[in-house]
Each structure stands twice: as C-alpha cells, then as structure tokens.
Amino acid sequence: MPRGLWTTTVGSFPKPPHLERARNQFARGEITAEALESLEREATADLIKKQEEIGLDILVDGELYRGDMTTFFAERMSGFEISNPVRSYGNRYYRKPIAVGPIRRNGPWTVDWWKFAQSRTKKPVKGMLTGPYTMMDWSFNEHYPTREAMAMDLADAIREEAIALAEAGAQYIQVDEPAVSVRPEELKLAIRALGRAVEGVKAKTITHICYGDFDVIYPAMLDLPVDMIDLEMANSRYDLLDRFRQHPFTKEIGYGVLDVHSHRIETRDEVKRGILRGLELLKPEQMYVDPDCGLKTRTVEEAMEKLAVMVAAVREVREERGITA
Amino acid sequence: MTIQTTLSGSFPKLPLTPGQSNVRVTRNRLDQGKATGRDLSEAIREATRRIIALQESAGIDIPVGGQVAWDDSQTFVARGIRGFEIAGLIRYLDTNTYYRQPEITGPISWTGPITAEDYRSAQEMAHRPVKAVLPGPYSLYRFSKDRHYREAAPALRALGEALALESGALEEAGAGWIHFEEPWLGRAAAADAPSIRAALEPLFHGRRARTTLHVPFRSPAAVFDTIRGLGWTALGLDLVESPEAWDLLPEVPKGRTVALGLIDARNTRLEDPARVAQAVDRARSIRPDLDWQLCPTASLEYLPVDRAAMKVARLAEAARLASRNGG
Ligand SMILES: [Zn+2]
C-alpha cells in the first residue's frame, strides 16, 4: 500500500484572546514575564492537544509566544537593534530589526519551546525558524557592506539553531523564506543562504514560500537545497499545477489546500478535489497536506474548523486510493 | 545655484515624542467605540500639521502633506474613481509593506475631486507652497487587477484621463506642483512603451502646475525614450537602489529638472550630507544645464518616524552644502 498525504500546518496559530490580552498587559508592565510565559505554556499545551484531536500527523508549537516572525529572532541575536514602529498597512505597524553589528547566535532561541511542545505528544513536532534571506530582506542594514554578507552571517546563526533543534530530536525543521518570491533576481543568493543554514542538519528540512510570482521563480526554485518546499496552492486556485505539468515538481511538497486569508470554511469536497488534482501529477509519498500559510490571522474557531475539514478530506482520499499514513 | 529640496509620497504618521496626538491610537479607539470620526479627523489634521512643520523647520523647500489619511499608496485614490472596487491585502512590491488591491470592475471614470479637499487643508497649514502627490496611472494599473477592460491600452488611457482630471481639481485647489509616483516605470519593458505614453500623456497636457514624475526603486531605462518625450517638469530617480539611473542623466531633455533621490528611504543608516553634496556636484558636472532637486529615493514612510525626521534634516543640510558648492 502506498503511504503519504501526511497532514500538518505551516507554523503559526491564532493566539487565544486571553493570551492577546496578557501580551498587551505585559507590554504595559502590568504583568510579569513569568506570568505571561506560564499562560503561553498553558496555551501551547492546549494547542498540542487540539492538533492531536483534529488528527494532524505532524504538529507545531503554534508560535503563540512569538510576535513578528523576524523581530522575535532578531531580539535573540547579537548585532541587531529593534526599530521604532514602521507601518505595514493602514493602522498596522511592526518593529523592524536593524543590523548594527556582526550578527551572531549567543544561545538557543526556540529549543526550549520545541522540547516543551514535543514533551506533550508522541507525534513529531516541527522546529520552526525564519530563513536567512527573509531575515535579511525584512531588516534594515546599517552594518553589512552587502545584502549577501548579511544573509550569510544570518545563515550561520540559523544553522546553529537548526542543529540544536535536530540534536534535541526534531525530525522536521522548517526554515521559512516568504521573501524569496518577491526578488526573483536574488533567488541564487537565497539558495546559497538557505543552503548554508541547513548544511549538515540531520532532519528533514522544509522551506515555506508565499505570495509570489511563481511564474518567474519556477522551476528555478527547485534548487532551494531542502527536502520539501511548502507552497500555497488553494489561494491561486491550484494554478501552480499547470507549471508542474510543464516541469515536474521534483521535491516533497507542502501542499496548501486552505485559504488562510478567508473567513469562509472550505467544504470537504473542494479540499478533496484540490488533493485529487495534485495526485494527478504528484505521488502520495511526495505530498504533505496543509493550509496555504500560517493560520495566525484567523480566529481560533476558524482555524480549527478549517483544519478539521482538511483532515476529513485527506482521510476520504486515503480511503478511496488505499493510501496509509 | 540653489538646490531645491522636496519629499515624495507619504511620511510616518506617528508622533516623534510620546504624549502628542496620535493617529494610530485614535484609530484603535475609534474601532473600540471610544473615539468618534471627528476625533480621527482632528488627529489626522494634527499629524499633517506636524509633518508640514517638521519639513518647514528643517528648511525643505517644497513640503508634502504626508498622506496621513491614506491606508496605502493606491487605494485612497482608486476608491474615489468610478470603476474600481477594493479587494484583499497583498504585498507592495518587495518593500514588506502591503496594500489592498484595486480591481477594475467597470468603465473607469472620474466623478469628482478625491484629494483636493485634503490638499487645501494641508496648504492652509503651510507657509510654503505644498506639493500634491498622486499615484501615477501606469503604476495604479499595474498594482490593480483588471476584470473589465482585459487589455491594457484602453484601461490605461481611461486611468490617465481620470488622474488628469484629478490633477485639474488639485490645480483648482491651488496646487502649483503635482507629483506622480510611478514605481512600475522601473519594472516596465520596452514593449510597454505605447501604453505608458497613452496613460501618462494626459497628465502633462495643458497642465498649469509644475509636475514631477518620480520613479522609486528601479531605473526606468527600458522605457526612457518614452519618458523623455513627456511634458513633466521634474524627473525623480532612485540613485541609491539603482545607481545605473545615473546613466540616464545625459539623456534628460534640456530645460528640465532632475530630482536626485540620494537619501535612502528604505534604510535607517543616515547619510553623510557632505557625501550627498558631492553626488549632487557630480550630477551638475554631467549636466551643467539642468535644474536640480534633492529628495529621498521614495516615501519616507518605510522608516520609523525618528529616522525619517533625521533623514529630512540630513537632506536639507546636504542641499545647503551643495548650493554653496555650486556658488
Ligand atoms: Zn506564508
């Protein structure tokens, strides 16, 4: 019997409202770091349980203790300062890292959180990091002479963390590179930097890319030196499959079937159809089924409902096609 | 000869010092039902006043209003043009900022002034003539999804005419200088030239106000033959991200102004005014016959407000040095 169609998620989950409130209280100095962390642990343990109940095969810690995906890491490295707020759209702002000196990893960033999450389940929990190209592209740079020099120092720091996660027992390590798709002319640099970041890491390596002009970077992006590339399929109505028809997808794929920007809960049939279309071109053992992107912008209820539909659809396809997990 | 200084597009809306009126806080309070629409309008006016005062006290010759009421660089204007609907949030090029994508769902037509009232109010707060800023029609089209025309040429012609009418309304409101922000000209191919001409020609035709065509990020070399033929007063170039834009200077038509984007709007690192002044000298030695402005490469809103303010000061200082050099 063929195996495959494992289910997972891209990484982030929505923070429950009480945790959002606690983060704001902490920012205003109304509660201690310890008090916040104990709530984060509780919420993470609860999220692991929820993922098991839904029936996902590969779990994540949900990143409930992280804010922005670059600032969280920059705050934990030497060589970075964090800027005052910069606007991203409308009334949304974020603090952006500024490279002001050589970037180094001085100690673990996420290993304790990974260990905590893994201790709550027998299923594998993915290690989740932001990639060197994206960290570079989404930061200001006052120190490095070139974008490449900064990306490569970041890659060395990220590699230390990835190795530490693998040594702690992580079987899957995902190094997200959402920025890769917006500057196709720098794809080669992104490939070099990501290659450095995962070099010698004894785990299955994954990268997630999103919101991009895949027409320009496919099939060149297949050179990204990881085992699996995670892509948004549903958001572009599975248009990417046409590209795969012209040039086969040669790696394992994180196959996104849930639109994370929509409140609407997908139907089981539409998710199933999306998976079946994929199976026309991809082998089941190549495919990991997941949402298009992180779920953090959805409500907790929407996220769980969407995932339940996804798992149910996968179960039906597995049954019909005689595929086991 | 003096070098004029100006900014392009939007400016950070947050106050430099805590405790001042804050648009972000007021908008959050409005969402929570704790503030009124009038509170927000007042906060927007206050931020605009602050942004203009900051430029004037630094000595910026041609200040801008800062687009305080705009959510992004495209939708404030697109919303006001008939034929557009506003869809989901997507990335604004490679800036790690976002905009809502305008969708063309019907024939494009201009039905009345969109930015003129805000312009008038900004001008009332200023002691110097304020420059009006609009998205350029070519970029607005490329940033949008066309569900109606399905081919570029007629859509671009209609958009160019709509923005020309908006420019007329700005002139009526007193604008003596209108700036069009056109990042997509740096990403256009030679084959796009005819549609670019169709979109941009109406902007400059019979215009009383002086005009800037500003191309942030990338050099518009591929379509420069077309750009040269248009009637703009000043051409804005990004010489930091695209040093190859220097090569365009010899081709600029006589009698025009070039706005030298030499202050990096996308990095917090502060420029040395003396070095910026040297770059201005270099431009003057290439083309002694042209007039010059000095400006940031793009909107300063890619920066936090503290660095944006410091960049404005450096910009003014560099222009003073360059004017002195130029004797
Ligand atoms: Zn994503």
The domain spans of chain A are 6-16+55-321
Chain A contact present for B264, CB below 8 A: no
As a whole number of angstroms, the distance between CA B42 and CA B27 comes to 11
pTM across the whole model: 0.94
The correct answer on CATH 3.30.420.250 for the domain covering A6-16+55-321 is no
Order the strands of the B234-238 sheet from edge to edge.
Answer: B4-5, B291-296, B257-263, B234-238, B210-215, B177-181, B132-135
To the nearest whole angstrom, how far is the Cα of B205 from the nearest Cα of chain A? 33
- State what percent of residues in chain A have pLDDT above 70: 100
Q: Please report how the helices A268-279 and A300-321 are oriented relative to each other, as an axis angle in degrees rounded to 10.
A: 50
Please, which residues 87-116 of chain A have a Cβ atom closer than 8 Å to chain B?
87-93, 96, 98
The 10s digit of each residue's pLDDT in A296-310 is 989 999 999 999 999
Q: Test B24 with A137 for CB contact under 8 angstroms.
A: no
Largest interatomic CA distance in chain A: 57
To the nearest whole angstrom, how far is the Cα of B24 from the nearest Cα of chain A? 6
Tokens of B135: 């998205």
As a whole number of angstroms, the distance between CA B275 and CA B262 comes to 10
Q: ∠ CA B100-B305-A180 to the nearest 5 degrees?
A: 50
Chain A contact present for B32, CB below 8 A: no
The 10s digit of each residue's pLDDT in A8-65 is 999 999 999 999 999 999 999 999 999 999 999 999 999 999 999 999 999 999 999 9
Strand runs (DSSP E) across chain B, as ranges?
4-5, 81-91, 98-110, 132-135, 145-146, 177-181, 210-215, 234-238, 257-263, 291-296
- Residues B162 and B155: beta-carbon distance below 8 Å: no
- Residues of chain A contacting B97 with CB distance shorter than 8 Å: 87-89
> What pLDDT was estimated at residue B1?
66
In DSSP terms, B82 is beta-bridged to B109
As a whole number of angstroms, the distance between CA A75 and CA A98 comes to 10
The 10s digit of each residue's pLDDT in A179-221 is 998 888 999 999 999 999 999 999 999 999 987 778 788 999 9
The 10s digit of each residue's pLDDT in B10-56 is 999 999 998 898 999 999 999 999 999 999 999 999 999 999 999 99
Sign of CA dihedral B294, B300, B303, B308: positive
What are the helix and strand counts (H, E) for chain A? 11, 10
Which amino acid, B285? S
To the nearest whole angstrom, how far is the Cα of A150 from the nearest Cα of chain B? 14
Residue A311 pLDDT class (50, 70, 90 cuts): very high
Domain boundaries, chain B: 4-15+60-326
Strand B81-91, strand B98-110: pairing: antiparallel
Tokens of B199: 């979109």
Mind listing the pLDDT tens digit of every residue in chain B (327 residues)?
Answer: 689 999 988 999 999 998 898 999 999 999 999 999 999 999 999 999 999 999 999 999 999 999 999 999 999 999 999 999 998 888 899 999 999 999 999 999 999 999 999 999 999 999 999 999 999 999 999 999 999 998 999 999 999 999 999 999 999 999 999 999 999 999 999 999 999 999 999 999 999 999 999 999 999 999 999 999 999 999 999 999 999 999 999 999 999 999 999 999 999 999 999 999 999 999 999 999 999 999 999 999 999 999 999 999 999 999 999 998 775
Chain A contact present for B243, CB below 8 A: no
SS3 A161: helix
Chain A contact present for B87, CB below 8 A: no
CATH architecture of B4-15+60-326: Alpha-Beta Barrel (3.20)
As a whole number of angstroms, the distance between CA A119 and CA A316 comes to 30
